[in-house]
Each structure stands twice: as C-alpha cells, then as structure tokens.
Structure 1
Amino acid sequence: MLKLTVVVPTYRRPIDLARCLTALQQQHRPADEVIAIVRDLDTVTWNFLHDFDRNNLALQIATVRVPGVIAAMNLGLTQAQGEIVAFTDDDAAPHPDWLARIETHFLTNDRVGGVGGRDWVREDGKLLDDARSIVGKVQWFGRTIGNHHLGVGAAREVDILKGVNMSWRKQAIAHLRFDDRLQGSGAQAHFEIAFSLAVQQAGWSIIYDPLVAVDHYPASRSTADPRLSQSQHSQFNATAMTAAIHNETLGLLDHFPWVNRVIFLLWAVSIGTRISPGLLQYLRLVPQEGFLARDKWWASLQGRWQGWQTWQRSKQSRSCLKDV
C-alpha cells in the first residue's frame, strides 16, 4: 500500500465542503491524511470545521493567508506527507472507490506520475452527460482539449489532468509547485497545464481513467472558464477571460520547443478557438454574437500578449540569474 493524502482547498462553501468530506469518509480505501486548506479570514469555514464530525477521517486543517487556489494548493503540497497527493474541490464528491482506483494505477506502474478521471458535472440539478474519446490533450499547434467531464473508454495516457480530480506521485513532482505567475482571482484558470506538462516532460506517464470519478457541483465560475455550459457564458467578463488566456499562453510557451511556440502564436492570433478567438474565429462569430464577438476577440488578444510578456520577463530573469 501507498500512503495517500487528499488536499481540499476550500473557501466559504460549508455545505459543499460537508458533502465533499462526507464522501471522503465513505471511501473503500480511506485516505491516510486529508488536508483542508482554509483561508485565515474564512470564519464561516472555520466554524463549520469546528463542529464537523471527523469520524473515519484523518482530517487536518492548514491555514493559507494568500488569496487564490494556487497558494492553497501549493501549501497542500508542502504539508502533505503521502507518497501520493490527490486533489479535489470542495464542490466535488469523490465516488466511494475513488482512492482505491487511484492507488491501483500507481501500484501497477511505477512510471505513472499522475492519475485523474472524470468529473460528473451537475448544474442546476441536471447532469451534463455526453461522451468524448479525446481528453486532456495538447495538440502540436497549441490547441488544448479538455473534456475531462465527458471522457469515456479505457484508461489512457493524456497530457493534462483537471484540478477537481487529479493525483500525483510525490517522487514525480519532486519540488514542482503550481505557477504563482498566473493571473485571476479565486480559481486561477488553466493552472493544471504547466504542472501536468512539467511532469510529463520529466518522463512520467499521466493517466486519465473515466472510472476514477467524482461528482461535481460547480459553484459560480468566471465566465471565461471553458468548462462552463453555453448558457453560463451569457454574461461576459473580459478581465477573467484575459487572465485565463494569459495563463494558458504562459503554460504552453514554457513547455513548447521554439518551433511550436512560433506555430502556436501564429495559430492563436490568426485562428484560435470559439472560447479564445483569433481573427478567423472572430469573423465567424460576428454574425451570431455581434459586439460580444469583438469583445471576446480583444480580450483573447490581450491575454495572448500578456502571456507572452510574462514569459519574456521570466526568461530574462532566468538569464540574469545564470549570469550572476
């Protein structure tokens, strides 16, 4: 057996957190350690945890003083004592066999560095149910494909896991931490990209298994989050979209070779996707969305430019450190 730690970042959602912790209490293979990461000023959560029945749950609480999920998850990595560190959100409920299936994958192959699976998303009481065979991939020109909440089929290798349902071998991540250069308030979008690609490029396999499952009851998200349903995109948030695209751009620039970087930037600016449009996608969206398409396009360009700038500054800083 391996020692398993579960990290749950949480912020002012005691009802959701109660469902999550209860699901962890019902695991067929109990966690050796569960760490709830709580903001220092979050009195609602502190009061809830004070009264929560911790029966059959090795629960610890760690205090984070910096806003955002990045700081919380990095604290979880620092505190975790397990050989395997699993992450889930406070608005998720892992299936009873979640940890047992995760452990099996890590025990079966000692070159597996990460394991994740499907999050069965429920919005307004409705299950978002569909089937996708391509999950968690980064295409050679820079398009990222998620679909973690819709994946079907056998367990297979992927490029990226999703934060609500991911686990990592401590040996594989070593001193790796989630990128604190990322923009955004609360849950910084696309934080998984750079982390997953770094593990993969170190020679470890990353496995997506739809049977490693959690039920997911998403709370309100930024309208730039690509995991939202179409109806939730009705209110546009340019700042959040720019931050999300900055984060995606930075993660890909960090890990692409130079040829792919050039191809990615050309593709992103000239074509793009419906979520992060380049020029051609903007022109395609104009008849349907009018001024909204223009606003998305401009926010997308800003995100790409800011991601490039952040990457350039980091590159220059590393160069200066080498020269010292």
Structure 2
Amino acid sequence: MRPPHALSVVDLDLDSPDGPVLSLRPAPGGPPPGPGDVYALVRLRGRPAATVLAHVPEGADPAETLAALARARLNEPRRDEPRRDESRIPGSRPDQPHLVPPRASVVVASRERADQLARALDSLLDQDHPDYEILVVDNAPVTRDTEELVRGKYGDRVRYVREDTPGLAVAHNTGLAHARTEVVAFTDDDVVADPHWLTALTAPFAADPRLGCVTGLILPARLRTPAQILLESHGGFAKGFAPRLYDPVRPPADEPLFPFTAGSFGSGANMAFRAGALASAGGFDPATGTGTAARGGDDLYAFVAVLSAGFRLRYTADALVWHHHRESRQDLRNQAFGYGAGLTAYLTAALVRRPALLPALLARLPRGLVHAKNMTASRTAEHGGVPGEHGTHTHPWPRSLSRLERRGMLYGPFGYAKARLRMRGTR
C-alpha cells in the first residue's frame, strides 16, 4: 500500500453555499495554505458545514480552488441530513442565538504533557462563553511540571487539582466533584478549542431540561504524517455536520443497535454533561479509560449510562475542537488496539453496572458482531472521499491495524476485569 502523503489543513469560511469567500486561514498553529493537497473545513458564516479534500495546483489561488469544491459540496444532496421529525423534538435546535448558555466548568485531565496543555489552555481562556471556569486535573503526576505550569503561568484563571490514582475516568470524576457549576465540559490536553466551542456545547442545556449530554465536532489540526492521515481516514473523531438528538424514549430508526453504538454519539475530547444527570448515572466508570488496563471506553460508558438513566444526548457540529493526532506509526498501533479494547471494555462495564441492559444487548448481538466486523475491516481502496468523513470507509486501513483492533476487542473484557481488581486493591 502506498503511504499517504502530507496534507495542509485549512479553515475556509463562505458567506453562503454559493457566496464569496469571507476568509481562508490555516488550522490553529499550522502553515498558511499553498499549493499541494489540502484538507479544508468549510464554514458558512462561521458555522462548520462540511469538509473537502483538494489539490491546489502551483500558481492557483487556494481560496478560489477550495471555494469551488466547497460550493459543489454544499449544494449536493447530503446523506447525513437530520430526520424530518427531529425539528419537532423539544430542544432540537441547538443553534438558537437567543439562548444564554449556563455557567460551565471545563475539565482538562492531563499527565506529563505540559507543552500541549499550555496550548489547550490558551485556547480555552479565549472562549466567548460569558461565565465559566477551567480545572486541570493532574493525573498520577511523576513531576511537578503540570502544577508549575498551571500555578505559575495561569494563576487564578485556572484551578489546579491533583489526582494520584491513574486513569482518565478517575480524573474526570475528580474534576466533576470539584466543579461548581450546573454543566461540566470535558476536553483533552491535545486539542485547540474554537473560540465559540464552549458556548455552542453548553447552550443546548438551556433549551432542554431533559438533556443530559452534548457532544461536538473534532477535526484534525495536522495531517502531516502517514499515521495521522490513516487515523483520520479510518473515521477519526468526526461525527458529521448534521445535528442529532438521541432520545431513549424515541430510539433513532436509523440506528438499530442503539444505544450500544456509543461511538457514533461523540468522543471524550469534546463532551459536556449536566452535572446532576451524570452524577445520577453513577459518573464515569473508574475501571475504564486511558491509564487503566481497559485502555479506553470511559466516554462511551458515560454516554450509555446517561441515556440509560433517561436523559437525552445531543450532537452539534457547532462545538468544534481541533485535535492533534499522534504522529508515529507505533502511536497509531497503540490507538488501534485501544479502540478495540475500549469498545468491549465499555460494553462489559455497562453490563456489570447495569445488568438490566443485558436483554437488549443480547437481542442486538448478531447484528452488532457484523457491524464490528465491517468497522474494523482492512481496506485497500485509494482516496475516495474526504478523510474522516462520517459514515464513509473508502480510504486505506492496513490489515495489521485491522488485526490489532480485533485483538483489542477480544482483550477488552479481560482488561476491564483487571482494572476493576486493581481499583479494589487501591481502595
């Protein structure tokens, strides 16, 4: 398989689907757009609307080349259009400009990555949200680098909390316990948040008292290495641009595995919860997540737990963060195994902590196995769309990574059991 080559990542804003270019700029911290292969976020007056992949010839105007493709893209039929009846669901329009977002806390769990954390915190301090606080949870620190960064550079603008028990879910529960607000947002130390991110992520809670969780759009900040491009090609973290509302009272007709396809709801680098809803659902399972033997699944478990407790979950692309994918092939191998392990670890956690879900899971098991097989299958197809485009799997995915994902799925329940035993020993 031919290794993918680097792409520039840019941010293109149009006045309308057929309108002029308002701006073209690189993704945060990236180089200016120029000739070569380009991956572009397309906005309509600031709102994320699509992505396009283009080749900009030498001497061509990058803005006009990308705008022509973007206009064609925005005017073609969209397979991810929201269901027609969704507009009648209370609170189904998260973009209502009159909504005042509730006061919020932003929790960032970090471990020995002070340089990346500083970049994330700078973006979080530049939000247009009217009233919020930021907490950094220093998870099982080895050095004082994170503490010195937070206390020294950010002072009273960012609160520092130490959590000595390793594990992302444990760190998130600690952040939840220290938050002073009705809504708590979570993101990672390897993202750059769009200035409107927190407002867009939290405003839907003001419209819908039954809303327990909101997730948002995650796009790649860099696509420089083969590992970064392969991850994004495999689906990345993006969940499309159409808003979705997941209601346990009205399960989506187009997702027969609901609620067990939690990966379609969002990802842990971009999520917010009504604090009371998450607490009533039992919080994050401390035996899941990065830093435990389970290797992942903490966010997926929380999504299903909140839905199982009767709350709604919303996805909105208006809440955008740029994620810095890991760069090396070994990082990608670790992620592939971790994704598989996290999937079955979270399902195991859901059954252990919520046995009432067992009949529903067993009823969906045959179709779920087929779905998992298709999602982890190796692919040799060349470029056939936009890397990371939600719902497409037309880009290469090596057989070695496919095998690692499936091995991870076999390992997940054992990893979760191992993590639970370690948690008991810690207590």
Which residue type is aligned with residue 218 of structure 1? H
Q: Does 1:180 align with 2:275?
A: no
Shift of 1:241: 6.4
SS across alignment from 1:52: helix
Q: Does 1:212 align with 2:319?
A: yes
**Aligned equivalent of 1:154:** 243
Alignment partners' CA distance in 2, 1:14 and 1:149: 26
SS across alignment from 2:359: helix
**Aligned equivalent of 1:253:** 351
SS across alignment from 1:82: coil
Shift of 1:50: 3.3
Which residue type is aligned with residue 109 of structure 2? P
**Aligned equivalent of 1:49:** 150
Q: Does 1:199 align with 2:306?
A: yes
Query: 105-114 or 25-34, which moves further after superposition?
Result: 25-34
1:95-133 CA distance string (max 9 Å, x none): 11112212321112222111111011234448969x99x
The answer to whether the Cα contact below 8 Å between 2:217 and 2:320 also exists between their aligned partners in 1 is yes
Shift of 1:300: 3.4
**Cα distance change of structure 1 residues 110 and 261 upon mapping to structure 2, 3 Å threshold:** closer
Shift of 1:273: 2.1
Q: Does 1:8 align with 2:113?
A: no
Alignment partners' CA distance in 2, 1:308 and 1:121: 29
**Aligned equivalent of 2:86:** none
1:68-104 CA distance string (max 9 Å, x none): 2111111001101111000010111111111221232
Shift of 1:188: 3.7
Alignment partners' CA distance in 2, 1:188 and 1:112: 28
Shift of 1:293: 6.6
Shift of 1:208: 0.3
Question: Which 5+ residue runs of structure 2 have no aligned equivalent?
Answer: 1-99, 248-261, 378-397, 422-427
Mapping of 1:53-64 within 5 angstroms?
53-54=154-155, 58-64=157-163
Which residue type is aligned with residue 9 of structure 1? A
Mapping of 1:99-248 within 5 angstroms?
99-125=198-224, 148-157=237-246, 160-175=265-280, 176-182=282-288, 185=291, 188-219=295-326, 232-233=332-333, 240=338, 243-248=341-346
**Cα distance change of structure 1 residues 62 and 30 upon mapping to structure 2, 3 Å threshold:** farther
**Aligned equivalent of 2:3:** none
User: May I ask how many residue pairs the two structures share in their alignment?
Assistant: 278
**Aligned equivalent of 2:164:** 65
**Aligned equivalent of 2:175:** 76
Which residue type is aligned with residue 240 of structure 2? G
Which residue type is aligned with residue 357 of structure 2? P
Alignment partners' CA distance in 2, 1:244 and 1:302: 9
SS across alignment from 1:193: helix
**Cα distance change of structure 1 residues 34 and 222 upon mapping to structure 2, 3 Å threshold:** farther
The answer to whether the Cα contact below 8 Å between 1:114 and 1:167 also exists between their aligned partners in 2 is yes
**Aligned equivalent of 1:89:** 188
Q: Percent identity?
A: 23
SS across alignment from 2:142: coil
Which residue type is aligned with residue 348 of structure 2? L
Shift of 1:302: 3.9
Alignment partners' CA distance in 2, 1:205 and 1:88: 20
SS across alignment from 2:108: strand
The answer to whether the Cα contact below 8 Å between 2:341 and 2:405 also exists between their aligned partners in 1 is no
The answer to whether the Cα contact below 8 Å between 1:183 and 1:243 also exists between their aligned partners in 2 is no
SS across alignment from 1:120: strand
The answer to whether the Cα contact below 8 Å between 1:120 and 1:150 also exists between their aligned partners in 2 is no
Q: Does 1:34 align with 2:143?
A: no
Alignment partners' CA distance in 2, 1:243 and 1:206: 24
Shift of 1:184: 5.5
The answer to whether the Cα contact below 8 Å between 2:288 and 2:346 also exists between their aligned partners in 1 is no
Alignment partners' CA distance in 1, 2:403 and 2:132: 50
The answer to whether the Cα contact below 8 Å between 1:119 and 1:148 also exists between their aligned partners in 2 is yes
Alignment partners' CA distance in 2, 1:15 and 1:244: 27
1:120-164 CA distance string (max 9 Å, x none): 1234448969x99xxxxxxxxxxxx98642411235338533110
CA RMSD of aligned residues (A): 4.0
Alignment partners' CA distance in 2, 1:43 and 1:34: 19
Alignment partners' CA distance in 1, 2:370 and 2:202: 44
Alignment partners' CA distance in 2, 1:178 and 1:221: 29
TM-score, normalised with respect to structure 1: 0.70
Alignment partners' CA distance in 2, 1:203 and 1:3: 23
Alignment partners' CA distance in 2, 1:31 and 1:221: 38
TM-score, normalised with respect to structure 2: 0.55
The answer to whether the Cα contact below 8 Å between 1:27 and 1:97 also exists between their aligned partners in 2 is yes
